[in-house]
Structure 1
Amino acid sequence: MEHHPVPTTVLWDIDGTLVRNAVSPGNLYHQALERAMGQELPQLVGHQHGRTDAGIIAEHVRAHELGDEVIPLVSRHLRDLSEERHRSGEHRVAAPGAAALVARFAGLGWRNGLLTGNSAFRARVKLSGAGFDVDAFDWDHSYFGDEAVERAGVTALAAADLAGTRAVIVGDTPRDGEAADAVGIPFLAVATGVYDVDALRRTNAVAIARDCVADAALIEDAIAALPPLRPADDD
C-alpha cells in the first residue's frame, strides 16, 4: 500500500501490547496500598485490564473505605515498588514482533508514541526491562494514566494534541477501544493480551491482529489507510 506523507502517530499501549502481561497483575497496587497504610490488608480488588494506574489505585483505596487523600502516597509507593522490582531483575518480556514493528514504523517516518494507563516512569521501567530502546518512542507525544482515573481522560489529551494529523491507538483490551471511541481516535486491536481475536471483534477496531508477527502487514496497511483526525474546531 502507498504511504502518503501525512504526519502519523502510532500510540502504543504497553501491558499486553508491547510487553507481555505480568504473571500476577494487580498485586503491586495492593502492596503499594499496604506500604502506604503500614499494615497488611485484605485484597478486595482484582486486576482489571485496561485501567489506568490512577483508576486502579482509587478503586483499591475506596474499597477499604479510605479517603482519597491517601491516593498520592499510594502512587509514590507504586513507583518505588516498580523500581525495586526492576533493580532486582524482575523484568517484563516483549511481545513477539513488537520491537520490530516499532522500528519499521520509524523507518516509514511515523512517530511511535505511547498511550498507557501507567505513569511515564513505570512505562520506562517496563519497556527498558523488556529490552526496548526507550528513545525509540516520542515522549513528547505520549500520554499517561497516573493522574487520569478514566482512560478516556488520557485519550482526550492525545486527540487534542494530534487533531488534523493521522493517529491510531494500538491496544489489546476493549477498554482501549472504548477510550479511543470516546474521542474519535481509531483503534487497532492486537490479541496479545488476555482478550482473543473473537473478543476483540466486539470492539470498533479498524483491524484486529493476532500478533505483531503474523499480522505485521495487516497492522501497517490498516494504519496507512486511515484518514487524518478531524481538526479540533470541526463540529
Structure 2
Amino acid sequence: MTLLILWDVDHTLIENAGVSKLIYAAAFETLTGRPPRLAAPTEGRTDPGIMRAFYQLHGLAMPPWERVERALAQAGARHADLLKAKGSVLPGAVAVLTLLGERSGVVQSTLTGNIRANALVKLSAFGLDTLLDLNLGAYGSDGERRAELVGVARRRFADARGREPDRTVLVGDTPRDVEAALSGGAEILAVASGIHSPADLHAAGAGKILDDLTDSARVLTALGLDG
C-alpha cells in the first residue's frame, strides 16, 4: 500500500506573512512598468489564475504565460531573504513531515498554486524542501485549474515509480484545496490554519478537518495511519 500525500504550501506548511502579495506586485510592476493599484487576489488560486485576475482588476490583458512565469520566478528569488525574515513554518509542520517521512509506503510531495520556482523558494527558506520529494509534485506552472494538478502529481508518481499510488491525500487550508481533491480523485485532509474556518472547509465538502498540525498523532489518525 502506497500513500501519496500532497501538501499545500502557503498557510498549510508555512506562513508567508504577506510576502506572496509582494512577489505578485513586483512581477506585475516588472511586466507593466508601473506598480499595481490593487492587491493580487489569492486565497487558494494558482499563480496563472492569480495573475490573470490581477491583470483584469487593472483592466489589462495578461501577456504570454512564459513572460509572466519568468517575472514571478525573478520576483520570488528577490524576496527570498524577506520571506526568511518575516515568514515562518507553521506549528507542527516539521514534526509531522519528519514523522511521515519515516513511514514505509508514504511518499510526500506538494500540490500548490505556486509556480515550481517559488514553491522551492518558500520551502527551502525554512528547510522543508529536504522533507519532500518535489519532483513528484504539481505546481501552478503545470496548469491554471487546481483540480488538474492532482492528476499531474499522480502521473509524475507513476512515471517515477512504475505504478500509481494506492491512495492520494491532499492536505490544504482552503475550499479550493477541498474542491481540487474531490474533483481530482484524491482524498482531502483540510487544516484550518489559514483564513478559512472549519465550518468553511466542511461546507466545501471536507470530511476530515484539523485546526492545525500540532498534534502529530491526530494527523496520522486523520490520514488513516494510526497504529
Please say whether Structure 1 and Structure 2 have the same fold, judged by a TM-score greater than 0.5.
yes
What does 1:8-27 correspond to in 2, within 5 Å? Answer: 8-23=3-18, 25-27=20-22
2:43 is paired with a residue whose SS is coil
User: Is structure 2 residue 86 aligned with structure 1 residue 86?
Assistant: no
**Deviation of residue 70 (structure 1)?**
4.3
Q: Which amino acid aligns with 1:211?
A: D
The 2-side partners of 1:118 and 1:37 are apart by 21
For 2:218, the equivalent position in structure 1 comes to 218
Of stretches 98-107 and 66-75 in structure 1, the one that deviates more from structure 2 is 66-75
**Deviation of residue 64 (structure 1)?**
3.2
Q: Does the aligned pair in 2 maintain the 1:14–1:114 contact within 8 Å?
A: yes
User: Is structure 2 residue 139 aligned with structure 1 residue 144?
Assistant: yes
Q: Which amino acid aligns with 1:111?
A: V
The 2-side partners of 1:50 and 1:190 are apart by 13
For 1:108, the equivalent position in structure 2 comes to 103
- After superposition, give the CA deviation of every residue in 1:124-176 in whole Å (9 maximum; x if it has no partner): 111121x2241221122111112412211212323445645111000000100
The one of 99, 122, 125 equivalent to 2:121 is 125
CA RMSD of aligned residues (A): 2.2
For 2:45, the equivalent position in structure 1 comes to 51
2:169 is paired with a residue whose SS is strand
For 1:232, the equivalent position in structure 2 comes to none
Q: Does the aligned pair in 1 maintain the 2:44–2:174 contact within 8 Å?
A: yes
**Deviation of residue 26 (structure 1)?**
2.6
Gaps of 5+ in 1: 1-5, 226-235
Structure 2 CA distance for partners of 1:41 and 1:135, relative to 1, 3 Å: closer
Instruction: Count matched residues.
Output: 218
**Deviation of residue 121 (structure 1)?**
1.4
Higher share of residues assigned helix: 2
TM-score (norm 2): 0.86
Q: Does the aligned pair in 2 maintain the 1:51–1:151 contact within 8 Å?
A: yes
The 2-side partners of 1:135 and 1:55 are apart by 28
**Deviation of residue 91 (structure 1)?**
5.1
Of stretches 117-126 and 152-161 in structure 1, the one that deviates more from structure 2 is 152-161
Structure 2 CA distance for partners of 1:144 and 1:33, relative to 1, 3 Å: same
Gaps of 5+ in 2: 159-163
The one of 18, 25, 44 equivalent to 1:30 is 25
**Deviation of residue 73 (structure 1)?**
2.1
